């Protein structure tokens, strides 16, 4: 089964083409938030390398958040556009779950973190053991200090591995568990579309079938413009 997967939810943009578990191609750029200009050419380059058209793909997959609001929309819209008018299923994958899958070869607590600003990260926790991921909590936006406290309450015998674009701000801030933190190899920290593809493949084999219409982004919290609008409305109500 040919799987075309992508992720544009943070600074990195990544596209992968897989034949089941076999990685045929992976194209990753970390040149800033220019995904609207680069993502489709990346997809075309990967497909052209194998003389393929979008209609030759068996399954489309995309990270659908959390992450950059614009990046999430670009990735989901790209997959929706490629699948439009076809019967090819589209499966949306949590960015955090895909980041955890990057580290599936490590046993311990996997802690993907994405910079959510305001001293918060988008986060979920997973237990990895013998190549199997077990989710420990839902995706959420959480203050880094609260994450530190929560990790301290998990089995102290388990090492902790971080991934995601929040790595550099989170790793030094986790003072309560600093002795359990392991250094994640740099290539495994950013998003990887291969991970997105493999999670989507597992869901497809479990019977999940999602159309391009049904696949929707996951934001976890309102965008900045919406937050500012709600703050203005709250201020107006207070004045009345």
- pLDDT for 23 beyond 80: yes
Residue 81 domain-assigned?
yes
Binning pLDDT at 50, 70 and 90, where does residue 34 land?
Answer: confident
- The whole domain housing 209 covers 2-95+191-229
- What percent of the chain lies above the pLDDT cut of 90? 87
pLDDT of residue 31: 85
Residue 197 forms part of a structural domain:
yes
Same domain, 8 and 29: yes
What is the CATH number for 132? 3.30.420.40
Do 179 and 195 belong to one domain? Answer: no
Asked whether residue 57 falls in the same domain as residue 75, the answer is yes
> With bands split at pLDDT 50, 70 and 90, how would you rate the model's confidence at 155?
very high
How many independent structural domains does the chain possess?
A: 2
Q: Are residues 142 and 89 in the same domain?
A: no
Residues 184 and 195 in one domain: no
Find the length of the chain: 240
Domain contains 30: yes
State the pLDDT at residue 32.
77
For 65-75, the pLDDT digits (tens) are 999 999 999 99
| Same domain assignment for residues 54 and 90 | yes
Is 203 found in the same domain as 148? no
Lowest mean pLDDT among 50-64, 135-149, 223-237: 223-237
């Amino acid at each position: 089964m040919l799987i075309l997967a992508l992720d544009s939810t943070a600074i990195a943009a990544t596209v992968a083409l897989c034949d089941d578990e076999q990685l045929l191609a992976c194209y990753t750029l970390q040149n800033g938030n220019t995904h609207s200009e680069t993502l489709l050419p990346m997809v075309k380059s990967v497909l052209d390398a194998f003389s393929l058209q979008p209609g030759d793909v068996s399954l489309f997959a995309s990270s659908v958040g959390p992450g950059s609001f614009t990046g999430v929309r670009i990735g989901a819209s790209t997959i929706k556009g490629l699948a439009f008018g076809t019967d090819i299923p589209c499966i949306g994958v949590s960015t955090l779950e895909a980041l955890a899958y990057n580290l599936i070869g490590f046993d311990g607590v996997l802690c993907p973190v994405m910079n959510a600003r305001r001293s918060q990260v988008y986060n979920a926790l997973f237990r990895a053991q013998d190549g199997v991921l077990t989710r420990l909590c839902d995706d959420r936006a959480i203050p880094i200090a609260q994450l530190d406290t929560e990790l301290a309450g998990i089995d102290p015998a388990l090492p902790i591995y971080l991934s995601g674009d929040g790595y550099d701000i989170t790793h030094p801030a986790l003072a309560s568990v600093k002795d359990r933190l392991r250094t994640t190899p740099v290539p495994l920290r950013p998003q990887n579309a291969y991970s997105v593809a493999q999670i989507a493949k597992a869901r497809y084999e479990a019977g999940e079938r999602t159309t391009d219409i049904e696949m929707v982004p996951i934001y976890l919290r309102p965008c900045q413009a919406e937050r500012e609008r709600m703050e203005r409305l709250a201020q107006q109500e207070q004045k009345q």
